[in-house]
């Protein structure tokens, strides 16, 4: 049998059953996956600096032999130090609180390391360097790709496996994008790009390969989405809404006055709904700006004008919370249903029946709303909340397959930098909510190093004694291979230490939905004082009595995520504070910006400068942050080019004059993207 890219990785030279398992853990199952497992970084050892020439404060790459290694105590905890020398000078590599590092070093070992040099304890030091064992540079080549590895499978062994795979499989790669298109944008051919990303001769060619793949990803995504949108939008729009009495009465009965931003958003939506064209609107506003009420007004208007409404939230917790809020605030104005993955079978059946017969006016739920069994009588308005957790594909799924194309309101608390909004949301009108309900004070943010933990938890305890509640957020669920703080461990520590006698709860993604729901409801009810959690609390939870948040290892999160997180406090009348504990000095410096900036858009612009547009692209278009695009280091100009090219290719195909290779590319992408109309048929 001839090789195929669909071959199991097991049969790639140098893999075998044991390594195949490890690769599977990394999501690599076939030869194609292996070629698509890109290095996320390269180490450029072509510019090694002699240690004698080091200037403190600079970023350097050095190479030398281990002279000695040992532990010292420091204010930042137990430090493991390795002394290396290259004959021109000596330098120390230092790891804090990572005792197991000692296993990696022995005297005489050749190592290369890079990082920022600081003058400490009377010598040069690099704290937590990037490092590897090294031969002489010529043995390994000066530019080394670095892969995401797993225990038992190093970056180096991955590289040699991938090199074998390239030898065998390169002839079988079937390029997706015509060479003429890639040429036009000064990119590599796909085959060249595969070779160059895994075996770069220089940093420049590696960058070019990454640009090529980023372009390919974005181009195909755009072609897929634009095609799907065109297909979906063939359906006619709902008739202009004419009645708003109930919706207005609902606003009058609210226990508060609308903010100017809420009023403007409602006007925007009202104009859309009375226009006779299908609304496609993004409602963007910082956490706590009161977007829910605006969405409720829209849904109630739909009901009043004879339509059903849908509200889809990304998590069970959030959907449940909305269901409660809606039931309380709407009262008898609408009949509300709930549907999620954990709805019991009998409830589910009766809900689906009532939905189809029109006895439910507004259905609230999770992704479960996208299931093909959900049949609407006449869906007129779809709201997706916290849209950054979904993607365009999901929102189009919900509106497709109806005889009339429902109105669409996309609600998001993730500010997209203005410079990106047009590219990412080109198909949506935007309402921005830029004022907060009165009486809210911005959450005070304090960034501290690990030595500041004590202070943070003392402040937290103080708030508990006043009857307030608190969040503790950690990057991991359980202790892993890194020294990152894990929620389950932190909870135990706190119960024995700082928070002895307080009532703590734990939620994270690998608990069952029921467990999460139960803990959440107990927290909302005030029975649990401190909720220790992973970022599952990031989205939309509203507990006004919570006034403190402590984020452990905050520097492992993006600034935008941290901004979302701190929005979980400061939602009531009491002043709130968020402590961000950084694990490194450079991390601490990065976080400091959040102490001064409270505007989500500004935070987003900073994140864009720091980490590039990849993450926003992912979150805006298809839900989860796209680590692949972020890792490919996609730049703004690639995004813009790919979007333009997608439009051009599609209009060529529409016109019937497209060259065969363009037509084929578009067809292949459309097939891969799937038929939108197979979802959510109404009758
Ligand atoms: P988000 O925009 O983050 O989704 P919510 O819609 O959950 O925010 O609103 C946060 C809280 O503010 C809710 O408790 C809500 O009842 C309240 N709220 C909304 N609008 C106003 C307002 N105009 N004045 C006072 N409180 C408001
Ligand atoms: Mg919300």
Domain coordinates in residue numbering, the chain: 1-43+144-173, 47-141, 237-433, 444-597
For residue 338, the CA-to-ligand 1 centroid distance in Å is 21
Residue 68 pLDDT class (50, 70, 90 cuts): very high
Q: What is the mean pLDDT of residues 604-608?
A: 81
pLDDT of residue 682 exceeding 50: no
Other CB atoms within 10 Å distance of the CB of residue 318: 22
612: left (phi over 0), alpha (psi -120 to 50) or beta: left
Other CB atoms within 10 Å distance of the CB of residue 190: 19
**Which of 251, 291, 292 to probe ligand 1 with, by most ligand atoms within 8 A of CB?**
292
Q: pLDDT tens, 293-313?
A: 999 999 999 999 999 999 999
pLDDT of residue 476 exceeding 80: no
> Residues enclosing ligand 1, CB less than 6 A?
256-259, 262, 285, 287-293, 413, 437, 540, 542, 571
Q: The tokens of 128 are what?
A: 């937590």
CA–CA gap between residue 617 and residue 446 (Å, rounded): 29
Asked whether the beta carbons of 113 and 62 are under 8 A apart, the reply is: yes
Per-residue burial over 225-259, b if 16 or more Cβ lie within 10 Å, else e, is bbbbbeebbebeebeebeebeebeebbeeeeeebb
What's the topology of domain 1-43+144-173?
A: DNA polymerase; domain 1 (1.10.150)
For residue 329, the CA-to-ligand 2 centroid distance in Å is 15
> How would DSSP label each residue in 176-226?
SS-HHHHHHTT---HHHHHHHHHS-SSHHHHHHHHHHHHHHHHHHHHHHHH
Fold match between domain 1-43+144-173 and domain 47-141: no
CA–CA gap between residue 208 and residue 224 (Å, rounded): 24
Of 206, 410, 387, 440, which is closest to residue 294 (Cα–Cα)? 410
Nearest ligand atom owner, CA of 285: 1
- pLDDT at residue number 450: 87
Q: How do 130-133 and 280-285 pair as beta strands?
A: unpaired
Closest residue to atom 5 of ligand 1, CA basis: 290
* Ligand 2 ion: residues within 5 Å (CB): 540
Q: Coil, strand, or helix at residue 117?
A: strand
Residue 141 pLDDT class (50, 70, 90 cuts): low
Which atom of ligand 1 is closest in space to residue 287's alpha carbon?
3
CA–CA gap between residue 414 and residue 286 (Å, rounded): 7
For residue 624, the CA-to-ligand 1 centroid distance in Å is 25
pLDDT of residue 567 exceeding 90: no
Q: How do 308-312 and 379-384 pair as beta strands?
A: parallel
For residue 318, the CA-to-ligand 2 centroid distance in Å is 8
For residue 286, the CA-to-ligand 1 centroid distance in Å is 11
CB-side neighbour CA atoms (13 Å) of 111 = 24
* Averaged pLDDT score across all residues of the chain: 85
Which atom of ligand 1 is closest in space to residue 292's alpha carbon?
6
CATH numeric code, 237-433: 3.40.50.300
Q: What is the mean pLDDT of residues 205-222?
A: 90
- pLDDT at residue number 483: 55
For residue 620, the CA-to-ligand 2 centroid distance in Å is 17
What's the topology of domain 444-597?
A: Rossmann fold (3.40.50)
What's the topology of domain 47-141?
A: OB fold (Dihydrolipoamide Acetyltransferase, E2P) (2.40.50)
Angle, CA of 531, 533 and 535, to the nearest 5° = 135
CA–CA gap between residue 70 and residue 95 (Å, rounded): 11
């Amino acid at each position: 049998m001839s090789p195929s890219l669909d071959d199991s990785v097991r049969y790639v030279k140098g893999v075998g059953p044991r390594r195949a398992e490890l690769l599977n853990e990394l999501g690599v199952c076939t030869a194609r996956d292996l070629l698509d497992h890109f290095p996320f970084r390269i180490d450029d050892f072509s510019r090694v600096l002699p240690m004698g020439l080091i200037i403190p404060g600079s970023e350097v790459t050095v190479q030398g032999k281990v002279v000695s290694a040992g532990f010292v105590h420091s204010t930042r905890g137990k430090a493991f130090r390795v002394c290396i020398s290259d004959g021109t000078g000596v330098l120390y590599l230092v790891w804090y609180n990572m005792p197991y590092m000692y296993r990696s070093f022995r005297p005489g070992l050749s190592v290369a390391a890079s990082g920022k040099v600081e003058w400490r304890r009377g010598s040069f030091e690099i704290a937590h360097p990037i490092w590897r064992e090294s031969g002489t540079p010529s043995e390994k080549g000066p530019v080394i790709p670095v892969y995401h590895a797993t225990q038992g499978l190093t970056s180096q062994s991955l590289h040699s496996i991938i090199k074998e795979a390239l030898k065998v499989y390169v002839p079988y790669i079937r390029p997706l994008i015509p060479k003429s298109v890639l040429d036009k944008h000064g990119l590599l051919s796909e085959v060249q790009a595969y070779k160059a990303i895994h075996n770069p001769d220089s940093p420049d060619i590696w960058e070019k390969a990454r640009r090529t793949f980023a372009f390919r990803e974005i181009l195909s995504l755009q072609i897929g989405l634009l095609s799907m949108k065109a297909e979906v939008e063939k359906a006619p729009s709902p008739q202009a809404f004419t009645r708003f009495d109930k919706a207005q009465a609902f606003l009058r009965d609210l226990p508060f006055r609308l903010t100017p931003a809420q009023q403007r958003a409602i006007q925007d939506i009202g104009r859309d709904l009375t226009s006779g064209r299908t609304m496609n609107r993004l409602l963007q506003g910082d956490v706590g700006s009161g977007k829910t009420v605006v969405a409720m007004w829209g849904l109630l208007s739909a009901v009043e004008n004879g339509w059903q409404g849908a509200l889809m939230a990304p998590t069970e917790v959030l959907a449940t919370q909305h269901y409660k809020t809606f039931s309380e605030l709407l009262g008898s104005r609408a009949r509300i249903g709930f549907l999620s993955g954990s709805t019991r079978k009998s409830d589910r059946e009766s809900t689906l029946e009532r939905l189809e017969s029109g006895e439910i006016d507004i259905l609230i739920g999770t992704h479960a709303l996208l299931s093909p069994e959900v049949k609407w009588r006449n869906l007129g308005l779809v709201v997706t909340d916290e849209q950054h957790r979904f993607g365009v594909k999901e929102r189009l799924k919900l509106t497709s397959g109806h005889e009339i194309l429902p109105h669409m309101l996309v609600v998001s608390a993730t500010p997209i930098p203005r410079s990106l909004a047009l590219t990412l949301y080109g198909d949506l009108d935007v309402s921005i909510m830029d004022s907060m309900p009165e009486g809210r004070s911005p959450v005070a943010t304090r960034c501290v190093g690990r030595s500041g933990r004590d202070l943070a938890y003392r402040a937290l305890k103080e708030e508990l004694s006043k009857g307030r509640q608190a969040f503790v957020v950690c990057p991991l669920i359980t202790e892993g291979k890194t020294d990152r703080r894990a929620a389950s461990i932190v909870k135990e520590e706190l119960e024995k230490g700082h928070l002895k006698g307080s009532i703590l709860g734990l939620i994270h993604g690998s608990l069952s939905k029921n467990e999460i729901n139960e803990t959440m409801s107990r927290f909302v009810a005030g029975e649990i004082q401190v909720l220790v959690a992973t970022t599952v609390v990031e989205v939309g939870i509203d507990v006004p009595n919570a006034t403190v948040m402590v984020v452990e290892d905050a520097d492992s999160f993006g600034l935008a995520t941290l901004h979302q997180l701190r929005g979980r406090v400061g939602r009531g009348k009491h002043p709130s504070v968020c402590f961000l504990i950084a694990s490194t000095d450079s991390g601490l410096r990065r976080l400091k910006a959040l102490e001064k900036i409270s505007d989500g858009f500004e935070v987003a612009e900073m994140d864009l400068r720091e980490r590039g547009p990849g993450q926003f692209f992912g979150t805006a278009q298809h839900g989860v942050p796209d680590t692949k695009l972020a890792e490919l280091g996609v730049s703004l100009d690639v995004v813009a080019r790919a979007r333009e090219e997608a439009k051009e290719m599609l209009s060529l195909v529409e016109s019937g004059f497209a060259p065969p290779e363009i037509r084929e590319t578009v067809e292949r992408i459309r097939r891969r993207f799937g038929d939108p109309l197979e979802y959510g048929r109404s009758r």
